[in-house]
Amino acid sequence: MVDNKARILKVIKTPVDTDESLPEVMKTVLGYEFFTFEDRTPLELDPAYGEKFAQDYNRKIGKLA
């Protein structure tokens, strides 16, 4: 933290029930989800899973940057 601003963010690869095991600073910074849901099942945004996942992955990378 610098002043009251975090210089990190967390990328969430898969959903978790709780962030209890994270360091305190990681509990309070913004998180960016890098997964999607299909039929209530979380799926990683991995280009290896096909063209749609590659497009979603690249879109998320662009927004994250």
Please state the pTM of the whole predicted model.
0.67
Residue 51 belongs to domain spanning = 10-27+36-64
pLDDT in tens, 11-64: 888 888 888 888 887 888 888 888 999 899 999 998 998 999 999 999 999 988
Q: How far apart are CA 43 and CA 40, in angstroms?
A: 9
> What DSSP assignment string belongs to 21-63?
TS-HHHHHS-EEE-EEEETTEEEE--GGG-HHHHHHHHHHHHH
Task: Provide the pLDDT for residue 7.
Answer: 73
Q: How far apart are CA 48 and CA 11, in angstroms?
A: 19
DSSP 17: S
Task: Provide the pLDDT for residue 15.
Answer: 86
Task: Provide the pLDDT for residue 1.
Answer: 65
Residue 56 forms part of a structural domain: yes
Residue 2 forms part of a structural domain: no
Domain count, the chain: 1
Task: Provide the pLDDT for residue 22.
Answer: 82
Task: Provide the pLDDT for residue 59.
Answer: 92
Q: Are 20 and 50 in contact (CB under 8 A)?
A: no
Residue 4 forms part of a structural domain: no
